[in-house]
Each structure stands twice: as structure tokens, then as C-alpha cells.
Amino acid sequence: MNGTKRAIPQPLPKLSTGIEGFDDLSRGGLPRNRTSLIVGGPGAGKTVFALQSLVNGIRRRQEAGIFVAFEEAPRQVIANGATFDWGLAALAKSKLFLLDACLSPTAIQSGEFDLVGMLAMLKAKKQEIGAEWIAFDGIDVLLTLLHDPVAEMREIYRLRDWLADNALTAIVTAKLDNGHSGAPHYGFMQFMADCVIRLERRLEHGVSTHRLGIAKYRGSDFAAGEFPVSFGPSGIEVGAAEPAEIRHEASIERLSSGFERLDAMLGGGLFRGSSTLITGVPGTSKTTLAGKFAEAACRRGERTLFVSFDEGAEPIARNLSSVGIQLKPHVKSGLLRMYSARTETISAEDHLLKIRALIREHRPRCMVIDPLTAIAKAGGLVAARAVANRLIYMIKDERVTVVITALNEGDDPQAESTDLQISSIADTWIHLSYLVRSGERNRALTIVKSRGTWHSNQVRELVLSATGPKLTDVYTAGGEVLMGTLRWEKEAEESARETRRYAEFDHKRRELQSAEAHTGAQIKALQLDLQRQQAELAMYSNDNEVRNTTTSDREEKLRKMRSADPAARAPGAAAAHARRRIAPDPEKKGGNGATQ
Amino acid sequence: MSRSRNPDKASGTAATTVVVMRLYIAGSAPNSIQAIANLEAICREHLKGIHKLEIVDILEQPQRAMADGVLVTPSLTKVSPLPAANVVGNLNDKNKVLLALGIKGKVA
């Protein structure tokens, strides 16, 4: 469109190895019709990697393969391969050809030899069975017999040319101890191969762990770094980092946790396909909560898997039945699968594999892992962390609703972050704790987080009884959370106090009413009194006025009658004085009061 | 195709057993050519008239070589007398070849 032509990038053709995780790391598998080199120390899994790729090629795509065994006789290879579910013995009769390439120990060597004859034989075999794959297992064994670096190099080139001519997807394995190669041919082999994979076995905290890394991959992108490898029923599996993009379906279907109250606290229950983490110190009923979830799932008729570490399935079922959770009938019906494992003996990786195998076998819709923190016991915390993460993602990929319990050493939910660091992946996080007061330990349940849903912020008390566990409200009094008998006592006490308070109030009310009535009556009496006094006062002052007026009128009339001169009016002043005494002015009143 | 080289004559009387050998080679690869030359020299020198040699070219008969359990080339097998023996390589080390074939005391 913009005028410039761009060549469409052609992805390198690849053949999938079918090895769990590796095909993701290598973005599709090994380069088709090219050579891949696998190097590693003894017991690192080179032979298994090569053989497994061939077996998967046959089983999945009907691609025939040739396995050239330099180290072990085909008989041994088949016997070793029988420990995996490949059906190797049967394949070895049809699509898989094993060439015994072990030089007889009695063979005497005299002078130089080469691979021309062997390659001619292999070419014939390839045409006969139509092989797509070829594996040279332990080529170093043969090359070292040459006793000559120049000859080794020559044969490596010969092999490379032969592979190029024959359009075979090849896997060449060579022993190599910890990268510092004493073998001079190593450099040439790396050059010959388009893809170089390193396998390593090492001991971590007394547990043997395997690692895989892609050292080079011509013409292809790949995941750099070291990845854990584990051995499962189907061979090796690489703990590839999950695809960066997370594609989990988000269901809006709600499942019951087994507790109505808890469902209500979670805004209706757990989402289908979500992960729930239950943390708590030992004895906080994590297993009970998980067991209730499993039982509820079974009651809905959903296939369920219960994985427990360091505690047998039998004791768990028995213990749960003591609090009214019945798992055994569901085990019998086949709905529930219980699996218990010891943690110390195998690495976290192997647990992951086992759980994955169980999921694929039982196909559960709900599952419980109790407690996940146990996997950290064997093989180091870092590995366990990675495994815990992958496990949760894997379970989510399988769309299984999971409840995971995790043990806290301290009672602080935040302490969990120092442990497996799984709280951030879990969708819902429920924390169980103890409240110890007055010689009692009571269990408190809090929802720390719950993604995508409303949830209660309140603490609930988990009460266990033979009829089953249940959640009750906790009692808060004076800023304190009360539980157990303390709660009961407090409740009883509070109720008694309430009654008493009501009675007291009633009594007081009546008292006040009566007092009010009394005062009212008094007010009325006083008012009457007041009115009477006022009336009396009015009457009295009126009387006096009348009398004064009459007196002065009389004097006036008398004066008029006597025709007295104005100077004789002095008695008027005396009359005013008299009037003042009857109604004294305010200034004098205070003084009078004081003297009286 | 195999080339058989019979003993020149039955000159070796009953006193000596005939040594039956099979040499596997790969066409005209240098080591194979070398091996044929070395073996023929040994036969001339030590097994005149008392050996039977078959040369098998793997490029021509790969199935047979595989059936015989041959791996690298060149490779010499002593079929009889027993015990059977295998020598791999271009047979440059004559002493080792003689030892494997059970020819003693004739080393120069």
C-alpha cells in the first residue's frame, strides 16, 4: 500500500517434541531437518529428551524415527524407557528403530576408523522405514575412541553433511560436565548444530533438581534462561514460564464455598475457575474449610480432587467427619479423588507433575490442595515458589476451581508474603486466625481480598461442632472482638443489663412523671395564690387611691369654701408627702428593706 | 557384492587351521582402502595359503552389515577359528591385528 514491498518473514519450520513446556520455550520445537545438540552431565536427562521426542513424533504424527544408541544397548534403552508410559517396546517393533551402536568391549582398535559405513547403514534404514527423526545418543562415546581431535572434527563434519543431505530432524546428545568442556569436539558440535540445549542436574538442599536451558537457536526466537525440569510418567517436563499473556476465562458463575455465611460474605460465593487461598497458623481449621468446599462440590455432583501433603487421606476423612463433613461416600462413588503425598522425599517439581497427572486423569471441576506450603519443604524455597505459581496457573488453565491452604508460621496474614508469595495470584484470600482471651482460643475468619466481587469486611467466628462448622457473628464490645464463651457470656450479660436498664428507665420515667405532676400541682397552687395576692394588692391600692382622692378633694372644697389665699396651700405639700408614704419610690424601697 | 579370496592352494596341511575373516569397508573411503592394503600385507606375510577373507562393502550391502552388527568402518571380524575377534580401524597397528587373529611368534 505504501509502495514498499516487504518480504513476509518465513518462520523456521519446526517439529514439536511433545515435551511439556519445551515446545513453548523453543517456540514450537526443534528445527525441522536440522540438527539439535543436547549437552549435559551424566543423568541430566539427555537420553530421555531424545527418546521422548522420537516417541512423541511417532505417537502423535506417525513420524518414524531411528535411535542410535552409543552408550547403552537397545535392550537397556527399552527397559529404561518402560518406566514411562510410552509403550516403547511396542514402538520399537514398528516405527522406532534402535541401532545398537555400542562398540564391543572386546573389540580391538587398530588405527583410524570412520562413520562412513554406519551412515550408509542408517541411510538404508531411513529409506526402509521412512524415518523423519534420528537421534545419536552419546556420540561422545564413539568420538573419544578416535583418540584424535582432528579425526573427531572430521567425523563431526561428516555427520553434519550426512544429516544435511538426508533431510532428517536430528538430535545429537553428548556428555559434558558443567559446561567446562574437556572435549575438543564440543566447539565443533556446537557449530554443527542449529539448536543447542543444555541439561543439568544438581543438588539443591539435598534434593536432586534438573535444569534446562536453550543456549542457541539459529533463526529462531527462544526463551532465554534456565528452566526446571522434572520427570513424570510421560517423561521429562520443562517448567516453562507460562505464556506472558494470561488467557483465563472469567466466569460469572458462582460456586458455594460450603458455608452459606461465607458465600454471603463473598457476595454470593466463589467464581467458577477462581483460586482461593486460605492462610492461617496450625489448627485454625484451614483443612475443615477446604473439606467443606470439597464436600459441597461433591454434593453438586462435580468431580473433585483433594490433594493433601504430609497427612494421609484416611485420617483427613476421619477428622473431617468428626465435624460433620462426610467425604468417604464421595470417595466411594468415585466423584472424589484423594491423594496424599510426603513432601520431603521429592522435589516441588515432581509434585507439580504428579498433580498435573492427577488432574488429567481425574478431570476434576473443583480441587483442594492442603497445604500448598508443604512443597517448600523439599528442594528450596525459590523452586517451590516457581512451582506454586505454575501450579495455580496450570489449575486455572484447566478451569478448575481451587481452594489452596497455606500455613503461616506467625499469625500475621502479611507474613504470608515472605513465604510462597502466592497471595497475589489467588483471586480470593481468606485468613483464619486465633483470638486468645480468657483461657480460650477461638477461630476468626476474615476475607483479606476477593477479586471482582463485593465482600464483607467483618470478622466472623468459625464454630466447629459435630453437626458441622458454621460461621457466626462476632461480638464487638467496647472496641474488642469477643468470641466463644466470652461472647456468650458477654451476650448474656448484655441482655441482662438491657433488661435491667429498661426496668430502671421505666422506674425513673414514672418517678419523673410523678414529680412532674407534683410540680405542676404546686405551680397551679402557687399561681392561684399569686392571683389571689395580685387581686388583693390591686384591691388595696385602689382603695387607697380612692381614699386619697377623696381627702384632697375634700380639702380643696374646704379651701374653696373658706376662700383661703394661695399661701395657705402649704397643706397640699403635706398631702403629697402622705401619698408618697403609701406608695414608696424605688430608691427608698431598698433602704427600707434593709432596715426592716 | 562380496569378493572372496580363497587360499592360493591347499598348501597349508592339516597342521594349520584356516583363518576365516570378514572385512567390512565403506566404498573407497581412505580408511577402508588402507585397511584392505594392510590386511592383504598381513595375509601375505603371516597367513599365506591358510586364510579365507571376505570383503563386504557396506555401501553396497548395508542390510547385511547391520545384521552382522557392524558399526564403524573399516572393521575386521575373525569368524573362525574360535574365539571370534573384532578389530576396528584401518589396521595400521599390525601387532594388534596379529594378536586379535591369534597369530603369535611371527612378529618381526
Position A258 scores a pLDDT of 86
Position A519 scores a pLDDT of 92
C-alpha cell at A154: 572430521
Residue of A nearest to B94 (CA): A110
Q: Is A283 helix (H, G, I), strand (E, B) or coil?
A: coil
Q: Do A117 and B90 touch (CB under 8 A)?
A: no
Position A229 scores a pLDDT of 82
Residue recorded with cell 587373529: B101
**A80-94 mean pLDDT:** 83
For residue B12, pLDDT beyond 80:
no
pTM: 0.59
- Tens-place pLDDT, residues A359-390: 888 899 999 988 887 777 665 666 777 778 87
Paired strand residues for A432: A280, A445
Question: b/e per residue, B47-69, with b = 16+ CB within 10 A?
Answer: beebbbbebbbbbebbeebbeee
For residue A425, pLDDT beyond 50:
yes
Position A458 scores a pLDDT of 74
Mutate to test the interface with A, among B28, B38, B72 (most CBs of A within 10 A): B72
- Tens-place pLDDT, residues A477-500: 666 666 666 677 777 777 888 888
Pairing of strands A336-341, A304-309: parallel
Q: Do A121 and B85 touch (CB under 8 A)?
A: no
Is residue A164 within 8 Å of A28, Cβ to Cβ?
A: no
Contacts with A117 from chain B: Cβ below 8 Å: 24-26, 32, 58-59, 65, 70-75
Position A241 scores a pLDDT of 58
How sure is the predictor about A520, in pLDDT bands with cuts at 50, 70 and 90?
very high
Paired strand residues for A430: A278, A447
For residue A534, pLDDT beyond 70:
yes
Domains of chain A as residue ranges with CATH: 14-238 (3.40.50.300), 262-474 (3.40.50.300)
Distance from CA of A54 to the nearest CA of B (A): 21
Give the whole-angstrom CA distance, residue A52 versus residue A108: 34
Position A581 scores a pLDDT of 52
- Tens-place pLDDT, residues A290-342: 998 999 999 999 999 999 888 888 888 888 888 888 888 999 998 899 988 87
**A443-465 mean pLDDT:** 78
For residue A457, pLDDT beyond 50:
yes
Q: Which residues of B touch A (CB under 8 A)?
A: 24-27, 29, 31-32, 34-35, 38, 58-59, 62-63, 65-66, 69-75, 85-94, 96-97, 99-100
**Nearest in space to B91 (alpha carbons), one of B75, B68, B71:** B75
Describe the crossing of helices A74-81 and A46-61 by its angle, rounded to 10 degrees: 80
For residue A555, pLDDT beyond 70:
yes
Give the dihedral sign, CA A251/A253/A256/A261: positive
pLDDT over 90 for what percent of chain A?
7
Residue recorded with cell 592383504: B40
- Tens-place pLDDT, residues A458-477: 778 888 777 777 777 776 66
Residue recorded with cell 517396546: A89
Q: Mean pLDDT of all residues in chain A?
A: 79
Position B86 scores a pLDDT of 83
Q: Please state which of the ranges A69-78, A174-183, A323-332 shows the lowest mean pLDDT.
A: A174-183
Contacts with B27 from chain A: Cβ below 8 Å: 116, 120
Q: What angle do CA A84, A24, A140 make, to 5 degrees?
A: 60
For residue A20, pLDDT beyond 70:
yes
Give the whole-angstrom CA distance, residue A292 versus residue A61: 45
Of B63, B72, B93, the CB nearest to A117: B72
Give the whole-angstrom CA distance, residue A18 versus residue A53: 6
- The alpha-helical segments, DSSP class H, found in A374-472 are 381-397
Number of H helices, E strands in chain B: 3, 5
- Other C-beta atoms within 10 Å of B82: how many? 8
Contacts with A110 from chain B: Cβ below 8 Å: 87-94, 96-97, 100
Position A180 scores a pLDDT of 46
What's the Cα-to-Cα distance from A446 to each of A443, A455, A461, A490, rounded to whole Å?
Answer: 10, 10, 9, 22
Q: Do A124 and B62 touch (CB under 8 A)?
A: yes
